[in-house]
Amino acid sequence: MAKNGKRLAKAVEGLDRDRAYPIDEAVGMLKSFATTKFDETVEIAMNLGVDPRHADQMVRGVVSLPNGTGRTVRVGVFARGDKAEAALKAGADVVGAEDLAERVQGGDIPFDRCIATPDMMAIVGRLGKVLGPRGMMPNPKLGTVTMDVAKAVEDAKGGQVEFRVEKAGIVHAGVGKASFTKEALVENTKAFADAINRAKPTGAKGVYLKRVSLSSTMGPGIKIDVPSLLG
């Protein structure tokens, strides 16, 4: 703990907490701060001018990061027959129907992302109390309730990120790993910010993208100049 404290204190020495840095400069600093032995996740936090308690101010969607996330995503698919075979060929980690539902109901959730064919939703719907709080319920708007399960699996494995605004109007997401090149991280971060900007709800009033910060798992938060993200 003491070593981590000293490392972080040294990193913060060159950081102006009150300054909003251009994205290129911020990513360069972030990479220099990420000095732990493991490959730290790079996370973005966006403070939005919305109140998600109102339906017309909800921000939710998916974005495919051009350089992936650097994270291994376990994908579970509820499907039968040809669709189940297609999901397995596309790289799904677990495929099933009632058998998979029983596992989930019993507390064994062998996936990070859940996909289902429309005919499976009668089964998946009964898992709402388990999957819902974890943000894993398949949703047609997010492309996770679909007949094209192969594409959905490939998208999930290839760097697709789901986002959903929290009660305080904040969106969090991982946009890569500290080992990524500066260019790859900048590209991923801009892609994510662009997706959030395009998802602006009709009920949002005033400033929409209020504050943005970037950090690595063990590093300090770095404020980002919003216009540099969208340029």
The Cα–Cα gap between 229 and 231 comes to 6
Predicted confidence (pLDDT) at residue 166 exceeds the cutoff of 70: yes
- For 75-157, CATH gives 3.40.50.790
Mapping DSSP onto H, E and C, the string for 112-156 reads: CEEEECHHHHHHHHHHHHHHHHHCCCCCHHHCCECCCHHHHHHHH
- More reliable by pLDDT, 109 or 2: 109
> What is the model's pTM?
0.81
For 66, which DSSP code? T
- pLDDT confidence of residue 14: 74
- pLDDT confidence of residue 94: 98
- More reliable by pLDDT, 122 or 158: 122
Q: What is the pLDDT of residues 182-219, one digit of tens each?
A: 999 999 999 999 999 999 999 998 999 999 999 999 98
- More reliable by pLDDT, 171 or 4: 171
The answer regarding whether domain 18-69+160-230 maps to CATH 3.30.190.20 reads yes
- pLDDT confidence of residue 159: 84
Quick one: average pLDDT of 20-40?
Answer: 93
Predicted confidence (pLDDT) at residue 2 exceeds the cutoff of 60: no
- Structural contact between residues 44 and 173, judged by C-beta atoms closer than 8 angstroms: yes
Measured CA to CA in angstroms, residue 36 lies from 47, 147, 218 at distances of 28, 43, 8
- pLDDT confidence of residue 4: 52
For the chain, what are the domain ranges? 18-69+160-230, 75-157
- Structural contact between residues 27 and 229, judged by C-beta atoms closer than 8 angstroms: no
